[in-house]
Copies of this chain bind each other. A is one copy, B any other.
Amino acid sequence: MLSTMQDVPLTVTRILHHGMTIHGRSRITTWTGEAEPHRRSFAEAGARATQLANALRDELGVNRSDAVATLMWNNAEHVEAYLAIPSMGAVLHTLNLRLPAEQLVWIVNHAADRVVLVNGSLLPLLAPLLPHLPTVEHIVVAGPGDRSLLDGAAPQVHEYEELIAGRPTTFDWPELDERTAAAMCYTSGTTGDPKGVVYSHRSIYLHSMQVNMAESMGLTEKDTTLVVVPQFHVNAWGLPHATFMTGVNMLMPDRFLQPGPLAEMIERERPTHAAAVPTIWQGLLAEVTAHPRDLSSMASVTIGGSACPPSLMEAYDKLGVRLCHAWGMTETSPLGTMSNPPAGLSAEEEWPYRLTQGRFPAGVEARLAGPGGDFLPWDGESAGELEVRGPWIAGAYYGGASGEPFRPEDKFTADGWLKTGDVGVISPDGFLTLTDRAKDVIKSGGEWISSVELENALMAHPEVAEAAVVAVPDDKWGERPLATVVLREGAKADFETLRAFLAESIAKWQLPERWALVPAVPKTSVGKFDKKVIRKQYADGELDVTHL
């Protein structure tokens, strides 16, 4: 028996058309640093995205399957690029503006980007790279910034507004197979060359539906989401496409990512939701502690990228803002889990669930691979490497000279699952608790010590601003933890005090012997603790280590 259903592809084009018509009134508000933010309706943004597609095709010669890069902040024009480029059959390539120059050059060349859309404020970053980017034929500049930086550049330079002005607001969109490439991100891997993840129309569409499901972010047209997570960071966790699908209003900070402007835009624009990594919320908390602001419009905040210190969640609970853990990675689009506790629990009973990474939706199958390669039970105790499978999860990387998909053995299993590199446990009811990155686990005398658990325990101390724990070589145990600590201004705690504090919640054999005060924890381009740097500092003798 054959199904009689229509065979209609799941495409970004559908999201574009739907958002600009049915949700034409919804708005993208972009912070400008001036008295009034810039506001643009979905109807306008959709029309402009259509004009952009016309310009890219007719003026810049962009063909289907060509890579078009963006080097932009979160703003309305970047959303337009998110919609136009995939819909015309080209591939949106978001460039991470926090990467070192040589990595950016490598990535643009590897993707063979023909066009770069860039914010004027980022020209100081892009201009020096251009001599090394032979595939780039066109630069399209949007927003304020010094254009003279591009004088003498090899690619043709266009003004975004001039380029799209007067072009048709209709486009004969191609009927795309839903498995067509739509967008790509490179992982900011800590070892080896960056690896490209190429999202399909299908994966973006399904991920957008999941983001909007009530069990996930559950937003509707009645909501406004403050998208702090950069659009170059795994498609801003899928929010621009997901919000355009259901008319959720977007509040975009552009380059104003400092705690002061963020606090101001929340108080003035009253978003109901926000998404960002923990360090943003740390900074914002310090800001509103010093200069109180009303953040209470944000009923829920999705927090991901790294584990959120429980103390931070508690602090925001007091402000009427509920931080909700999510877990994901570039390879998972990124929604992998969200930590909405089960039904019928008191606030106290909910607490341990809120500290987990959360539950998998139906679209994400999960299993834990033990040290021996066997699969471990979901008993909340057996720790293994998380492997996942699903329609918005990578099964390969874009790579090599030929651009053919490749599947390194340390990232994909023989049966096609993604090895996440995250180590954790899963409870019988499917809540994931990550204890570490596989590479950051401290392997001490045949047992595993979780660096994250030590860090969270340390950061719960009132005088600790930040703490990072890494594995360092140890003659007797193989590896032992090294604790690096950033104290708050005026703090008086010494290492003995901190160690005694740790001993209240951590098994004695796991307590670090090695301690170092640091002015700041080194971070990766997306704000995660950069443990590779700390281990190198230790190896190079650059840290002033105290042995207890």
Size bracket of the A interface? 35 or more
Beta-carbon contact of B5 and A395 below 8 Å? yes
The verdict on A394 contacting B4 (CB below 8 Å), with A220-B340, A222-B343 known, is: yes
In the complex, are the beta carbons of A342 and B25 less than 8 A apart? yes
Cα–Cα, bound, A209→B207 (Å):
11
18-32 of chain A: CB within 8 A of chain B: 18-19, 21-25
Smallest Cβ distance from A498 to chain B, in angstroms? Answer: 38
Chain B residues closer than 8 Å to A340, beta-carbon distance: 220
Q: Are A398 and B5 in contact (CB under 8 A)?
A: no
Nearest CB in chain B: distance from A430 CB, A: 4
Select the stretch in A70-78, A211-219, A286-294, A515-523 that faces chain B: A211-219
Q: Scan residues 317-347 of chain A and give those whose CB is less than 8 A from a CB of chain B.
A: 340, 342-344
The smallest C-beta distance from A329 to any residue of chain B, in angstroms, reads: 14
Cβ-based interface call for A458 (8 A): no
A130-138, A148-156, A191-199, A276-284: which one contacts chain B? A191-199
Q: What is the bound-complex CA distance between A209 and B389, given in angstroms?
A: 18
18 contacts between A and B (CB under 8 A): A1-B67, A2-B405, A3-B181, A3-B200, A3-B203, A4-B397, A6-B393, A6-B418, A7-B391, A7-B395, A14-B362, A18-B362, A23-B430, A206-B209, A209-B213, A214-B246, A215-B220, A220-B343
Smallest beta-carbon distance A310→chain B, Å = 23
Distance of A10 Cα from B179 Cα, bound (Å)? 14
Does A188 count as interface, using CB distance less than 8 angstroms? no
Integer count of this chain's copies in the complex: 2
CB distance from A418 to the nearest CB of B (A): 8
9 residue pairs, one from A and one from B, having the closest CB atoms: A22-B430, A3-B200, A6-B395, A222-B343, A18-B362, A214-B218, A4-B396, A5-B203, A1-B181
Interface presence of A144 (CB below 8 A): no
A164 at the interface (CB under 8 A from B): no
A395 to B4, CA, bound (A): 6
Q: Which of B8, B390, B391, B398 contacts A4 (CB 8 A)?
A: B398
| Residues in A392-426 with C-beta less than 8 Å from chain B | 392-398, 403-405, 416, 418
Residues of B within 8 A of A398 (CB): 1-2, 4
Q: In the complex, how many angstroms separate the beta carbon of A241 from the nearest chain B beta carbon?
A: 10
Q: Which of chain B's residues have a CB closer than 8 A to the CB of A21? A: 378, 430
The residues of B that contact A389 with a CB separation of less than 8 Å are 6, 8
Contact status B209-A246, CB under 8 Å: no
- B214-A5 in contact (CB<8A): no
A398–B19 alpha-carbon span in the complex (Å): 34
Residues of B within 8 A of A365 (CB): 8, 14, 17-18
Q: Which residues of B contact A378 (CB under 8 A)?
A: 21
Contacts of A418 in B (CB 8 A): 6
Asked if A524 is an interface residue, CB under 8 A from chain B, the answer is no
Q: Kindly provide the distance from the CB of A90 to the nearest chain B CB, expressed in whole angstroms.
A: 9
Instruction: Say whether A2 contacts B221, CB under 8 Å.
Output: no
Q: Which of B5, B19, B24 contacts A394 (CB 8 A)?
A: B5
A window 354-409: CB within 8 A of B: 359-363, 365, 378, 389-398, 403-405
CA distance A179 to B3 in the complex (A): 7
> Mask for A224-246, Cβ within 8 A of B = 1, else 0?
00000000000000000000011
Asked whether any CB of chain B lies closer than 8 Å to the CB of A15, the reply is: yes
The reply to whether B214 and A7 contact each other, CB–CB distance below 8 Å, is: no
Query: Which residues of the other chain, B, contact A2 by a CB distance below 8 angstroms?
Result: 181, 198, 398, 403-405
The verdict on A51 contacting chain B, using a C-beta distance below 8 Å, is no
Tell me if A210 is interfacial: C-beta within 8 Å of chain B: yes
- Is A182 in contact with chain B by the CB < 8 A criterion? yes
Pick from A3, A91, A378, A398 the residue with the most CB of B within 10 Å: A3
Query: Quick check: is A202 within 8 A (CB to CB) of the other chain?
Result: yes
Partner among B23, B24, B221, B391 whose Cβ is within 8 Å of the Cβ of A5: B391
A180 at the binding interface (Cβ < 8 Å) = yes
Say whether A184 faces chain B, with CB atoms less than 8 Å apart.
yes
Q: Is A496 positioned at the interface, with any CB of B under 8 Å from its CB?
A: no
Closest CB-CB distance, A473 to chain B, in whole Å? 36
Whole-angstrom distance from the CB of A546 to the nearest CB of chain B? 45
Let me know if A494 is at the binding interface, CB within 8 A: no
